Structure 1
Amino acid sequence: MVLRIVPTDFLMVQDAIDVSIPGDSIQILAGKFDGFRVDVENLKIFGCGIGRTIIAGAPAQGTSDGVFVSAERTTLQGFTVQGFIGNGIFISSSSSVLKEVEVKFNTLMGILGVGNSNLIINCIASNNTSVNGSGIEIFAFTSSYVINCISTQNLGDGYFLRFGKLINSSANENNNGISVDTRSTILANETLKNNGSGITIASDLNNIIDNKVCNNEESGIELTVFSDENAIDSNIARNNGTDITDAGILVDPGSADNTIRFNKARNNVEFDIEAIPPADTDNTFDGNKCENSDPPGLCT
C-alpha cells in the first residue's frame, strides 16, 4: 500500500489515481484541484477538510461531474466539490464511503448514488441548482445509508431516496425536503424546516419515524395516491402549510393500509391531520395528538 500526495508527488489527482493499485491512498493537500475519475478499486482519497481542499475547475474525465466513482470500495473524505455543470459527485459503484464531504453550487445533483450499499456520512449538500434534482439522491436496488448529513438551499429535493436509509439528517430551505419513491426506506430522526413540502411518500412499506417536520410551506408529511402499508409513527408536525390543500399530515385518496399513529401535530394549515375520503377509512389512525382533523376524530 502506497500513500501518494497531491500536489507534492503528483500535480493532479487524476495522475495519482492512474498509477495507483487497490489498497493505495491519496492525500490531497489544501488548495484547488480539477475533478477526477476513480476507476481503481479500494482507494482512499482524502483531503485536508471541507473548505480547505476544493475540487473545482475541469470535470472528471469523460463527464461533466466533479468526481466520478466507478470503482468498488472507494473512500472519499475531507474536501469540497463545487461549481460543476454536472453532478458534484456521481457514484456508480457499490460499497463506497463518502465522509465529511461538501458539495455545492453544482448544476445537477450534489451527490448522486446509483450503486448499492454505499455510505454517505457527515456530508453537506447546498445550493445545487437542478429543479429536478436533489442535494443528495440515492437511486439504487439495495439500500444505501445517509447519516448525519445536511441538505440546504437546493432548488430540487433536499434528499431523494430509492432503497435508502436516512438517519439523523436535516433538510432546510429546499424546494422539497425529502421525497421517497420506493419500498423499504427508513426515515428516522430527521429535521425538516422551511422547505416547500416536508416529506412526500410515493411508494409502499416505508417507515417514517421520530422526525421533526416544521415550518414548511406545503404539507409536512404527505402520503400520495397509491402509497400503501407505510408506518407514519411518532413524528412532530408543526406550523406547516399555507392554504386549504395542505395539512400537517395529509393522506391522499387511493392511499390504503397505512398506519398513522402517535404523531404530534399543531398549528398546521388547514388541518393538523387530513385524510381525503376514502383514505379516512382505508387507513389506521391511532393515538395522534393534534388540535383538529378532517374528518373529525383522527386525533385523540
Structure 2
Amino acid sequence: MRKKHITCLAAATVALATALGGAAVPSAAAGPGDHVVRPGGSIQSAVDAASPGDTVVVLPGTYHESVHITKPGLTLLGVGGRVVLMPAATGTKAAGTCAASGNGICVAGTKGHTVDDVSIRSLTVSGFAKSGVWASWTGGLSVRRVTARSNGTWGIAQEHSAHADLRDNTATGNGDAGIFVANSVSEEGGATDTQGTEIRNNSLTGNRIGVTARRVRNLLIDGNRMSGNCSGVFVVGDESKPAAGAMTVSNNRIEENNKYCAATPRLSAIQGSGVVLTGSERTVVRDNVIRGNVGATPLSGGVVLFKSFVGALNTGNTISRNLVRDNMPADLADRDTSGTGNAFDGNTCGTSVPAGMCAE
C-alpha cells in the first residue's frame, strides 16, 4: 500500500473516531497533507488551503455550499456515509463559479491545463440546479460511493475528460442522466476518445436516462443496475467524424425503465427503452439482462438501433449473448434500416423487429 493511501486511511479513521466520540483530532495524526472539516466549517476553505495531492476529510453533517476543485491529486473524502452537500439557503448569494453555475462539486481544468487524478469519495450531493458532480478538462478523475440525487440536470457528469473511473455510485431522481459523459455540452463536433473511462457497478434509478454517452468513444459501461428511468443506456452520435462508439455495454441489469419523459427540442419522448444506439459505430452490447422495458415511443424496446436525429447511421455494432425478455413493443428492434454491418447474435429473446433476430 502506498504511503499516500496509508495516510488517507489513517486520516479517515481518526476523523470517524472524532465524529463518534467527540474527541479532538490530533494534528500529528491528521498528517501534514490532510485537512479535516467539521460541521459548520467550510469545505471550500479546506480545498483552497490544500496542496496538490492532499486529502480533505469531511466529517458527518450537512454542508450548504458548492466546492470548486482545480488542484491535481486532491482527494475529497466524506466520513461515515453521512456527509451531504446541498445548495446554500434561499436568498443567499451563490459563492464561487461552481455554485453560480448550479453545480455541487466542480472539478475544472482548462483546454491547455487539465486537472488530473482528483478523487471524490463517500459524499451525497443533492438538490443542485444543474449537476451534483461536474467535471471539465480532467484526467483520471475517480468518483466512488457518491450519491447524486434530485439534481436538476445530471447526477455525475463530465466533458472534455479522459480515463475516468465512475464506480459504486448511486444516482437517483436527477432531471436528465444519472451519469453523463460527453465530448462537450456546448459544442457539436466529432466524438472524443475517453481513453478507457469506466462506468461500473452504479445504481441508477428514477432519472431521465441511466447512462448517456454522447459523442464519445472508447469507454466501458459494465455491471450497473438501471431501473425506473425513461431509458437505461443511451449512446448518442451525430454526423461528425469520428463517430461515437467503439465502446462496450456489458453485464448490466436494465429492467423496467418505464418512466415517461416528454419530448425535448433535441429528442423525442422516451419511455420503456433499455439500450438505445443512435449514430454509433463498433459498439458492443453483450451479456446484459434487459427485461420489462415497456413503452410506445419510437425509442421503446429492449435494445433499439435508431438513426440519429441528425441523420447519422449505426454501423458495425454487435448485440450478442444478452437475455432480453418482456420488453415492448419488441425485445430487439433495428429501426435504422439504412445502417450497415450491425449484428444480432446469440440473444435470448422473444420478439424482434424485423423478425428472426432472437436465438430463442
| Class of the TM-score when normalised by the shorter of the 2 chains | 0.7 to 0.9
Give the deviation of 1:192 after TM superposition: 0.3
Q: Among residues 168, 173, 176, which one is paired with 1:156 in the alignment? A: 176
- Tell me the residue number matched to 2:36: 27
Partner of 2:56, secondary structure, is strand
Among candidates 227, 231, 254, match of residue 213 of structure 1: 254
CA contact (8 A) 2:170 2:204 kept: yes
Q: Tell me by how many angstroms 1:83 deviates.
A: 1.8
In the alignment, is the contact (CA less than 8 A) between 1:33 and 1:54 conserved in 2? no
Map Cα deviations across residues 81-109 of structure 1 (whole Å, 9 max, x no partner).
Answer: 11255211001121111111111111110
2:250, 2:338 → 1: CA distance?
20
2:310 aligned partner:
none
- Counterpart for residue 333 of structure 2: 274
Asked if residue 223 in structure 1 is aligned to residue 256 in structure 2, the reply is: no
Q: For residue 241 of structure 1, report the CA deviation from its aligned partner.
A: 2.6
Structure 1: distance between partners of 2:146 and 2:73: 18
Query: Which AA in structure 2 matches 1:180?
Result: A
Structure 1 pair 174–32 and aligned structure 2 pair: CA distance change class (3 A): farther
Residue 69 to residue 23, structure 1, CA distance change in 2 (3 Å)? farther
Q: Within 2, Cα distance between the matches of 1:100 and 1:277?
A: 42
Matches within 5 A, 1:134-153: 134-153=154-173
- Aligned to 1:54, which of 43, 62, 78? 62
Task: Provide the aligned length of Structure 1 versus Structure 2.
Answer: 267
How many angstroms apart in 2 are the aligned matches of 1:280 and 1:70?
A: 43
Q: CA–CA distance in 2 between the matches of 1:238 and 1:141?
A: 32
> Does the aligned pair in 2 maintain the 1:244–1:269 contact within 8 Å?
no
Write the mapping of 1:83-98 to structure 2, written as runs, cut at 5 A: 83-84=87-88, 86-92=102-108, 93-98=115-120
| 188, 210, 213: which one aligns with 1:180 | 213
Structure showing the higher helix proportion among its residues: 2
SS in 2 for 1:90: strand
1:195 aligned counterpart, secondary structure: coil
Which ranges in structure 1 are unaligned for 5 or more consecutive residues?
7-21, 60-65
SS of structure 2 residue aligned to 1:36: helix
* Aligned residues of 1:42 and 1:72 also touching (Cα < 8 A): yes
- TM (normalized to structure 1)? 0.83
CA shift, 1:144, in A, is 0.6
- The CA distance in 1 between the partners of 2:331 and 2:62, in whole Å, is 44
Letter in 1 for 2:292: N
Listed one character per residue, the Cα deviations across residues 242-267 of structure 1 (whole Å, up to 9, x for unaligned) are 11521110011421100000011111
Amino acid at match of 2:139: N
Change (3 A) 1:24 1:211: same
CA distance in 2, matches of 1:119, 1:154: 20
Amino acid paired to 1:26:
H
Corresponding position: 1:250 with 2:259 = no
- Please state how far the C-alpha of 1:53 moved relative to its aligned partner: 2.7
Secondary structure class of the residue paired with 2:226 = strand
TM-score (normalizing by structure 2): 0.70
In structure 1, the residue corresponding to 2:281 is in which secondary structure?
Answer: coil
Query: Is residue 84 of structure 2 the alignment partner of residue 80 of structure 1?
Result: yes
CA RMSD of aligned residues (A): 2.1
Q: Work out the CA distance in 1 between the residues paired with 2:339 and 2:107.
A: 41
User: Which amino acid in 1 is paired with 2:248?
Assistant: N
Q: CA separation of 1:277/1:156 partners in 2, compared to 1, >3 Å: closer, same or farther?
A: closer
Alpha carbons of structure 1 residues 116 and 23: separation in structure 2 relative to 1, 3 Å: farther
Which residue matches 2:293? Answer: 240
Shift of 1:34: 4.1
Asked if structure 2 preserves the Cα contact closer than 8 Å seen for 1:23 and 1:41, the reply is no
User: Which residue number in structure 2 is paired with residue 11 of structure 1?
Assistant: none
Question: Cα 1:299–1:32, aligned 2, differ >3 Å: closer, same or farther?
Answer: farther
Deviations 1:132-173 (A, max 9, x none): x31000223321101111000111110002423101111000
Give the conservation status (yes or no) of the 8 Å contact 2:43–2:67.
Answer: yes
